[in-house]
Amino acid sequence: MSVSASPDVREVLKRTFGFDDFRPHQAELVEGLVTGRDVFGVMPTGGGKSLCYQLPAVVAPGCAVVVSPLIALMKDQVDAALANGIRAACVNSNMSLEDRKEAARAYRTGELDLLYLAPERLSSSGMLDRLRDCPSGGPAFFAIDEAHCLSEWGHDFRPDYLFLGELRKAFPETPIGAFTATATSKVADDIEAKLNLHQPVKIRASFDRSNLYYDVRQKQDWESQLIDFVKARPGQSGVIYRTSRKSVEDTANLLKANGIAAQAYHAGMESAERSRVQEAFIRDDVGIIVATVAFGMGIDKPDVRFVLHGDLPKNIESYYQETGRAGRDGEPSECLLLYSPRDGAKLRNFLTEISDEKERLRTMNLLREMEKFAAVPTCRRKALLRYFGETLEGENCGNCDFCAGGYEKVDATRDAQYILSAIARTGERFGSRHVCDVVAGANTEKIRENGHQNLKTYGLGSGKHKKHWRNVLDNLIAHEVVELSDDGYSIPRLTAESWRIMKGEREFSFYQDPRKERAKVSKKAG
Ligand code: ADP
Ligand code: ZN
């Protein structure tokens, strides 16, 4: 259903923002806030969320308060608003006391349309009372940006966001708008409940970014894969994500050694240097950025042609956000994930160190979903959208590596039976590696210690490489034939489907990537 926005709203859209039309769903959300209702907008990155509260802030009498966790970007947002002639200011801990006082004064005297507040400011003592101290007796409305930070089910939970639950109690009559780009339905319900939204205008835009080509490949010689990919796209802007600062620097050096202009970006760099790299990227002085996830928040570069993940992201939300930085201009763009099951194991090792048990399980579960996405060849777009609770109609999305048809279906019923029987005979007590060792007939200490060389299944698969068995097991896990224990040890466990396969009641097949990489890479300069 489309709402025709009232004339003054349309005029402000044109006059203040310079746009002729609303993007999908903006009109409903704007109209909601302007007419004093709560609103809840779930829209993908680049969907145009800021306008949904900035425009009402201009139209509504009084000053709107925007809560945003992205302190580093606040000043840019305020500057952009000021450039549009919106009376805006911000208050956060990065600012001088003097600037904060000036913002407070402007708010008190009714000189602002828009005030950005960091969440920790809002919860500081007396702040809610000070918000009443203005000509209209309180904010025109509250806008909560990145609202998924409220939910413990999301990937970016921030405890200081919980305080936002107080807003409804302190200002029962003031409309609240919540905005996020990442919300599974669980997270969305949680946000709505925590903010105590009252019959909000709810908008859930599609998360399908049809111009993005999703590609997931097994890491083989990953450096060749990387160089090959970048070299095949001369002159394109791209972001390469890596997990650690060291791997960021190594990868940037590898690219340079191969004649590709690339710059590193990570949180360990001086902030002036980071700004310089970011600026150079936006101005196209540098084509390729190799970065940790610290890069990209709020960077609005429309023509990023590819996003390459050199390591497995921690969860699907982050992956979606990061790939979403490609192709904001709507032009065809690519998202390549190079995946190795070992990445998942490495991340899991880090996660076992999280001391809070609830938090540990939560992040482990999110990681497991990400691994499943990467390990199981199926339509990438459907898998992503399913994660966000959306269904995509049609057989073939036409824009992912799986639908492009590079995969071969292989029958793996017999191989699956070997693995499952090894899990059964070792008592569902050993990790994936050990199970594969048993099938492959490896001679390890653990096998000797447990007498597993005497099992019937031992060595049944010695004709094939260990990697093959690992792949079969990964696929069994990904297809939910085998479950992993939830205790942090990820022990493979059998399910009813496992038994059906072992009894020969059903077959098991999966898709395999037959592609091989060829490029030659020089690892030294010159
Ligand atoms: P989000 O916060 O959802 O990621 P932004 O608010 O940053 O998205 O908007 C993304 C881009 O779209 C910005 O460059 C913005 O100027 C532009 N934009 C927003 N609304 C419109 C519109 N109605 N028409 C044209 N461009 C728009
Ligand atoms: Zn597809």
DSSP state letters, 71-86:
HHHHHHHHHHHHHTT-
- Ligand closest to the CA atom of residue 213: 2
Ligand 1 atom, smallest distance to 45 CA: 4
Cβ–ligand 1 contact at 119 (below 6 Å): no
- Ligand 1 pocket mutation pick from 300, 321, 322 by most atoms within 8 angstroms of CB: 300
Rg of the chain taking only CA atoms, in angstroms: 26
**CB distance 459 to ligand 1 below 6 Å:** no
- Which residue's CA is minimally distant from atom 2 of ligand 1? 49
pTM of the model: 0.74
ipTM of the complex as predicted: 0.97
Ligand 1 center to residue 190 CA distance, Å? Answer: 26
Sorted by sequence, the CB contacts under 8 Å of residue 366 that are 6+ apart come out as 155, 314, 315, 316, 317
Q: How far apart, in whole angstroms, are the C-alpha atoms of residue 363 and residue 350? A: 11
CA-nearest residue, atom 25 of ligand 1: 19
| Amino acid residing at 526 | G
Is any ligand 1 atom within 6 A of the Cβ of residue 23? Answer: yes
Question: What's the pLDDT score for residue 488?
Answer: 66
**For 256-263, what is the mean pLDDT?**
95
Q: Which of 51, 70, 209, 299 to mutate to test the pocket of ligand 1 (most atoms within 8 A of CB)?
A: 51
Query: Can you give the pLDDT at residue 5?
Result: 60
Kindly give the number of the ligand 1 atom that is closest to the alpha carbon of 43: 3
Atom of ligand 1 nearest to the CA of 44: 3
- Estimate to the nearest angstrom the gap between the alpha carbon of 395 and the chain centroid: 25
Q: Which ligand is nearest to the CA of 299?
A: 1
Chain mean pLDDT for the chain = 90
Residue indicated by tokens 């360990």:
268
Residue 17 Cβ < 6 Å to ligand 1: no
Judge whether residue 190 has pLDDT over 60: yes
Separation CA 508–CA 518 (nearest Å): 31
Reply yes or no on whether the pLDDT at 487 is more than 50: yes
How many angstroms separate the alpha carbon of residue 403 from the centre of ligand 2?
A: 4
Residue 516 has pLDDT above 50, yes or no: no
Q: What is the DSSP string of 178-216?
A: EEES---HHHHHHHHHHHT--S-EEEE-----TTEEEEE
Residue reference for tokens 């305080």: 163
| 207 Cα: distance to centroid of ligand 1 (angstroms) | 15
- pLDDT value of residue 519: 36
Q: Is residue 41 in contact with ligand 1, taking CB distance under 6 Å?
A: no
CA dist., res. 305 & res. 403, Å (int): 20
Whether residue 316 has pLDDT greater than 90: yes
91-124 tens-digit pLDDT = 988 889 999 999 999 999 999 999 999 998 999 8
Centre of ligand 1 to C-alpha 148, Å, is 19
Nearest by Cα to 383 from 366, 367, 397, 404:
397
Taking 80 as the threshold, does the pLDDT of residue 522 lie above it? no
Is 67 strand, coil or helix?
strand
pLDDT in tens, 407-426: 889 999 999 999 999 999 99
Cα–Cα dist 158/119, whole Å: 9
Ligand located closest to 22 CA: 1
Q: Would you say the CB of residue 45 lies under 6 angstroms from ligand 1?
A: yes
Which numbered atom of ligand 1 lies nearest the CA of 145?
A: 2
* Ligand 1 mutation pick, 50, 74, 145, 325, max ligand atoms within 8 A of CB: 50
Share of the chain above pLDDT 90, in %: 67
Integer Cα distance of 361 and 169 in angstroms: 32
Alpha helix segments (H runs only) across 16-138 = 26-34, 49-59, 71-83, 97-108, 119-122, 127-132
Cα 419 to Cα 422, 448, 526, distances in angstroms: 5, 19, 48
The pLDDT tens digits for 15-62 are 999 999 998 899 999 999 999 999 999 998 778 899 999 999 999 999
Confidence of residue 517 (pLDDT cuts 50, 70, 90): very low
pLDDT number for residue 523: 45
Confidence of residue 376 (pLDDT cuts 50, 70, 90): confident
Q: Is 300 in the pocket of ligand 1 (CB under 6 A)?
A: yes
Ligand 1 centroid to Cα of residue 459, in Å, is: 59
Q: Name the closest ligand to CA 30.
A: 1
Number of other CB atoms surrounding residue 443 within 10 Å: 9
Strand segments (E) across 310-371 = 333-339
